Amino acid sequence: MKSTVLRGKKVVLRSLKLSDAARFCQWLADPEVTKFLDMYNQPALTLAAERKWITQQRQRKDIITFAIDTIDGTHIGSVALRHITSPHRHASYGIMIGDKKYWGQGYGTEAGKLIIDYGFRKLKLHRIYLYVIAYNIRGQKSYEKIGFKVEGRFREHLLVDGQYHDRVVMGILKNEYLKKQNNK
């Protein structure tokens, strides 16, 4: 990915740097952070593995990953569009606010709005979708603020800590997003 920077009122989305790796390792070692990610019961990541992941993200054409910084430059997480496909022009959305001090304050919602706007306007995507574990209510509310709608549910799809949980499918179409933007 070329060096694109997206700016909002609370956050700046920037390219990943190798120096971000240590923070990712710290966040991903926290079960409270990973309980909402598709990393259930994964072993701890090494610094070398995380640096390799960052390098790979920069080289792939089907993924765009941004670091999320606060407006004052504090790195608090990442947001991505993955599985970018052509000719269908869709992608999956993922976000992690790893620094728990910034949870519930609108940073993730604003980061989501910035990357969704980028996906529709710059990448010319038609549809963006996501999967969220049903008990992540805070995440679902954030996604709804961005404009995502519930499209379906995979019942008892995920086994986490010995219990099955539903996986909710949410999506947003370009015309829905643009209509919402025009009504502001």
The DSSP secondary-structure symbol of 70 reads E
The class (CATH top level) of 6-182 is alpha beta
- Give the residue extent of every domain in the chain: 6-182
What is the distance, to the nearest Å, from the Cα of residue 120 to the centroid of all Cα atoms in its chain?
A: 15
Out of 102, 118, 143, 177, the active site residue is 143
Kindly give, in sequence order, each residue whose CB lies less than 8 Å from that of residue 89, ignoring residues fewer than 6 positions away: 124, 125, 126, 127
- pLDDT at position 43 is 60
pLDDT at 44: 62
**pLDDT over 70 (residue 39):** no
Q: Is the pLDDT of residue 109 over 80?
A: yes
- How confident is the model over 71-96, as pLDDT tens digits? 999 999 999 999 998 889 999 999 99
Segment 3-31 shows an average pLDDT of 92
Concerning whether 143 is annotated as a catalytic residue, the answer is yes
User: Quick one: DSSP state of residue 73?
Assistant: S
Residue type, 41: N
- What mean pLDDT comes out for the span 116-123? 96
Asked if pLDDT for residue 1 goes beyond 50, the answer is no
DSSP string, 77-143: EEEEEEEEETTTTEEEEEEEE--GGGTTTTHHHHHHHHHHHHHHHTS--SEEEEEEETT-HHHHHHH
At 133-145, the pLDDT tens digits run 999 999 999 999 9
47-59 vs 21-28: helix crossing angle, rounded to 10: 120
Q: pLDDT-derived band of residue 2, with 50, 70 and 90 as boundaries?
A: low
CA distance 143 to 133: 13
